[in-house]
Amino acid sequence: MPRYETITYDLGDDVAIITLDRPDRMNALNGPMRAELTDAVGRAGKDARAVVLTGNGKAFCSGQDLGDGASVASLDLEGVLREEYVPLLHAIGTCPVPTISAVNGPAAGAGANLALAADVVIACESAYFLQAFTRIGLIPDAGGTYWLPRQMGAAKAMGAALFAEPISARQASDWGMIWEAVPDERFDETWRRRAAQLAKGPTAAYAELKTAIRATWENDLSAQLELEARLQGKCGKTRDFQEGVVAFLEKREARYEGR
């Protein structure tokens, strides 16, 4: 099992759980954490059949650690985004297995957008999402300008970014920003059950599903239908498809082999 300084990595039952582990800083993102997260997500895509991102302590992630290193005047924000955030967000976005953000508390700034980069976001009801950037004279980054309009619509995204007001987990769920908000007392059980469900599912189909859904924003209808046909053809040649059909006919639960 790999050893990290700012995160923990746990693997069991085909689920990799990556936990942001700087609770004294509300899991704020610094350079070492971004590098370790990028490595861990890449590793998890090979080790596991489902990946969970969560936080240790009261927060999921409070965003960029503004007290990390250089003074504000000398911060190279463009360089940090290009060199550290882009590889991390690409690692999450291209992970070949399903990813879940289990948002256990506040997710602010880059931390909110890190959460939204996962395939599925499950939040406890006491959590909230905050696009805090305009409070310090910035625009949403870490994928915020990409994910927000797609997940909650342009009007809600613009308001969230301009006003920089907290969005409760329940609001986020109602607006389509996340998959679900669950009562705090059921949060841990819920995301673990969801992760286990995905880890037992048809991994090859999940990978093609992710490709198809993410491509829809760039394709017109004809291109998307062509992509669907091609990817479905690949799925139809897998052992998972054969097993799924046989299990359906035999009225039993399918036993998928994965990759």
pLDDT digits (tens, 9 = 90+) for 51-100: 999 999 999 999 998 876 555 566 788 898 999 999 999 999 999 999 99
98: CATH: 3.90.226.10
Give the long-range contacts of residues 190-193, CB within 8 A, separation 24 or more: 190/122, 191/52, 191/54, 191/100, 191/102, 191/122
How far is the CA of 62 from the CAs of 87, 118, 127, 217, 257, in angstroms? 20, 17, 12, 29, 38
Q: Does 213 have pLDDT greater than 80?
A: yes
At 164, list the tokens. 């920089």
Please report where in the chains the tokens 């998959």 appear, as a residue: 179
Query: Which structural domain, as residue segments, surrounds residue 217?
Result: 203-249
Whether residue 84 sits in one domain with residue 71: yes
40 plus 106 within the same structural domain: yes
Residue 72: DSSP 8-state: G
Q: Let me know whether 125 and 243 are in one domain.
A: no
Could you read off the pLDDT of 37-57 as tens digits, one per residue?
999 999 999 999 999 999 999
Per-residue pLDDT tens over the stretch 177-189: 999 999 999 999 9
Task: Indicate if 192 and 214 belong to the same structural domain.
Answer: no
Identify residue 69 by its one-letter amino acid code: G
Residue 87 covered by a domain: yes
Say whether both 165 and 228 belong to one domain.
no
Evaluated on CA atoms 178, 181, 187, 193, the torsion sign reads: negative
Number of separate domains in the chain: 2
